């Protein structure tokens, strides 16, 4: 993403577009939060097209025992960063993707209404790849150019007790170093500098 160009409805040029049907309009159009997630399908396995298929409502429920539990869900994220750093966009960032579920950030509920969801291919038990961070940094910069982003949180921060991602291996210190003005989760703020 050397040159950031936004298309209609918040589609970013230079990334792989896979439009998901799982989105809706934002109630007020204001985007102030980025939410980080991790995902791997099957759990703990990387590569393949299962995550894309899940967000596009075409996951084969018979392909893995876990898939029968989630195949009927209609979820999406705005962006997905694969282990090799390839960036996939499922929902225009001006729209409301269905990534957060029941959630609250700093007293405000329904985080899908005012957030961008970024999924990192990964799991709680492993570190993320350097290529993923190399893709995340310019994506965050591009989002901050377009939207008045004031905070970045993990799914675990907006849905505590229900979610654990992006997990203990995400490099929050690197986020803080690059974006010191963003509101971050309390446990990140408490980390030594």
- Counting Cβ atoms within 10 Å, is residue 77 exposed (0-12), middle (13-18) or buried (19+)? buried
- 182 band by pLDDT with thresholds 50, 70 and 90: very high
Would residue 125 be called left, alpha or beta, if left means φ above 0 and alpha means ψ between -120 and 50 degrees?
Answer: alpha
Query: CB–CB of 155/75 below 8 Å?
Result: no
Flag whether pLDDT at 3 surpasses 70. no
Residues with Cβ < 8 Å from 175, sequence gap 6 or more?
140, 152, 182, 184, 188
Residue pointed to by tokens 């446990």: 187
Q: Write out the two tokens for 135.
A: 């893709």
Is residue 119 among the annotated active site residues?
yes
Strand partners, 183: 151
pLDDT tens digit sequence for 148-174: 999 999 999 999 999 999 999 999 999
Structure tokens at 63: 């392909």
SS3 for 50-69 is HHHHHHCCCCCCCCCCCHHH
Q: What is the pLDDT of residue 191?
A: 66
Mean predicted confidence (pLDDT) in 71-88? 97
Flag whether pLDDT at 60 surpasses 70: yes
**pTM of the predicted model, to two decimals?**
0.96
pLDDT reading at 2 higher than 60: no
Can you give the C-alpha Rg of the chain in angstroms? 16
| Alpha-carbon span 170 to 120, nearest angstrom | 10
pLDDT confidence tier of residue 29, bands split at 50, 70 and 90: confident
pLDDT(193) > 90: no
Mean pLDDT of the chain: 94
37: β partners: 119
Are 154 and 72 in contact by the 8 Å Cβ rule? The answer is no
How much is the pLDDT for 188?
Answer: 77
Q: Read off φ and ψ for residue 124, nearest 5 degrees.
A: -65, -20
Q: What pLDDT is stored for residue 154 in this prediction? A: 97
Say if residue 187's pLDDT is above 80. no
Candidate list 2, 52, 69, 119, residue with the active-site label = 119
Q: Residue 78: its pLDDT value, please?
A: 98
């Amino acid at each position: 993403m050397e040159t950031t160009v936004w298309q209609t409805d918040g589609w970013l040029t230079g990334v792989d577009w896979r439009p998901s049907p799982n989105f809706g309009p934002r109630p007020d159009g204001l985007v102030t939060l980025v939410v980080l997630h991790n995902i791997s399908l099957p759990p703990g396995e990387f590569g393949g097209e299962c995550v894309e298929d899940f967000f596009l409502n075409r996951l084969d429920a018979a392909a893995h025992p876990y898939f029968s539990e989630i195949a009927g869900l209609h979820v999406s994220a705005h962006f997905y960063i694969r282990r090799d750093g390839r960036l996939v966009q499922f929902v225009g960032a001006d729209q409301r993707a269905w990534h957060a579920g029941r959630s609250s950030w700093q007293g405000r509920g329904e985080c899908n209404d005012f957030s961008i969801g970024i999924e990192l291919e990964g799991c709680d038990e492993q570190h993320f790849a350097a290529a993923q961070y190399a893709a995340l940094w310019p994506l965050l910069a591009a989002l901050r150019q377009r939207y008045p982003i004031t905070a970045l949180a993990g799914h675990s921060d907006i849905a505590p007790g229900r979610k654990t991602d992006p997990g203990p291996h995400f490099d929050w210190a690197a986020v803080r170093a690059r974006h010191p003005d963003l509101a971050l989760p309390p446990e990140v703020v408490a980390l030594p500098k």
